[in-house]
A and B are shown apart, each in its own frame.
Chain A
């Protein structure tokens, strides 16, 4: 087969595969809809999971062994199937949970303070959310009509979530509340909806392990490591992500990255870190090997200057142990 024949065959293959790659872009985009970024607190919840992983390695092992029937961590299936229900992390002041409706495909929680109402609706289906704005990830579509405002987005796990506020909610308020949303597994949800939402997830480590979730580090399917996330609290009082420090375990090292001037990052790693990868907006990755700072022997600092072109406004730092495990992540603004 000569080059021309091979190229023809390759093009035909690509064309056939493309034709069988369905992409739903047909949904109309409402004129009144605006896309807003959900804030970094959502990311922080994920990042706190990384910290929890550092102190719960044994729990991870136990959980993974007990969950042999699950898709491999890191697979799309694993992301799609687990955290299928949503509750609020921060209940607005004066609000109480007055209604819980949950079916196989949908959950709806209604909160009210007597004058205003807030609903959080979870629809379990993978794909474009609500047929309006097919955005996914931590982008939300916000819209308002009359006295009703709605913010909706699709979690990476394939869970479509809507926050609906009536009687005077502002966009900023909804975005702020969305940042506190915590998604939980079927097991956790089954417990949480008991006693009108007053039931609390267990605090002790052994019982809590049933409700822990393991997922790939750094938001996704690139297999960068395994994180374990523990959730505590109740639907009535608010859900929260547990970290090791709150459970009386060993303190989580204070890792940080500072964006000091254009292109220069200062890294404080903690002793258990082998290297730090700084992933820039344009996906350029810089690797930093920390060095001991004589002025601060208990900490390790390093500075790195990022050369070359590209966007340098924001970066994600991955703190990586010698075995390749991502121990922590930090968003650098």
Chain B
């Protein structure tokens, strides 16, 4: 009869009182924040949740080979969101952006304007102004140089301003 109390994923030992490197723990700690970050990129809460789950599934498969699981799952999620957005743009497909949202008019207008931005600007704005990531970290996530991130931020804000006017 099985009675395993195995709780850890992977081979990392768990020291008493230390941060336990388990998938469950990471999921509990990071899941909500990642879903919300993904939503700021893709617009749809349902899609964001799906993509976040996909990212965790991929993390699980790669657990033994990943040095820093939180960074891995975040990188995978950003890549999944970007891929999803690029495909949506190619197919001229836009998810519903108002699913269950009730925003003041000014914020609603801003949210809709953000959804009209090209993928790279949506990504960089969400990572900078929602996730509060520094430009260097955004550059790592997006596979570009920090200077490119600065440029994207500058142009993204310009485009957003034009959309709002």
Contact = CB atoms under 8 A, between A and B. Distances in A.
Interface of A: 1, 3, 6-7, 9-14, 16-18, 20-23, 25, 29, 31-35, 37, 74, 76, 133-139, 144, 146-147, 149, 156, 168, 170-171, 219-224, 281-285, 311, 313-314
B15 interface: no
Contact of A25 (B28, B39, B76, B84): B28
A311 B66 contact: yes
A29 B57 CA distance: 17
Interface of B: 1-7, 9, 23-24, 27-28, 31-32, 35-36, 39-40, 44-50, 53-54, 56-58, 60-62, 65-66, 72, 75-76, 79-80, 83-84, 87-88, 91, 93, 100-104, 106-107, 110-111, 114, 125-126, 129-130, 157, 160-161, 164
Contact of A35 (B31, B60, B107): B60
Given A32-B5, A33-B7, A168-B1, 8 more contacts: A14-B126, A34-B4, A37-B61, A138-B57, A146-B1, A283-B76, A283-B83, A313-B61
B84 A139 contact: no
Contacts of A135: 27, 53, 56
Contact of B107 (A12, A285, A311): A12
Contacts of B75: 282-283
Given A37-B60, A137-B53, A11 B130 contact: yes
A13 B114 contact: yes
A135 B164 CA distance: 39
Contacts of B60: 35, 37, 139
Contacts of B23: 35
24 contacts: A6-B160, A10-B114, A12-B110, A14-B130, A17-B101, A23-B49, A31-B5, A74-B93, A76-B44, A135-B53, A135-B56, A137-B53, A144-B4, A147-B1, A156-B50, A221-B47, A222-B83, A224-B87, A282-B75, A283-B58, A283-B79, A285-B83, A311-B62, A313-B61
A24 B157 CA distance: 32
Given A14-B126, A76-B46, A220-B50, A282 B106 contact: no
A18 B130 contact: yes
Contact of A144 (B2, B50, B125): B2
A170 B4 CA distance: 10
Contacts of A285: 83
Contact of B157 (A7, A35, A223): A7
A16 B103 contact: yes
Contacts of B27: 134-135
Contacts of A139: 56-57, 60
Given A6-B161, A7-B157, A221 B65 contact: no
A18 B65 CA distance: 32
Contacts of A20: 100-103
Given A11-B130, A224-B87, A34 B6 contact: yes
B61 A281 contact: yes
Given A139-B57, A311-B66, A314-B61, A282 B76 contact: yes
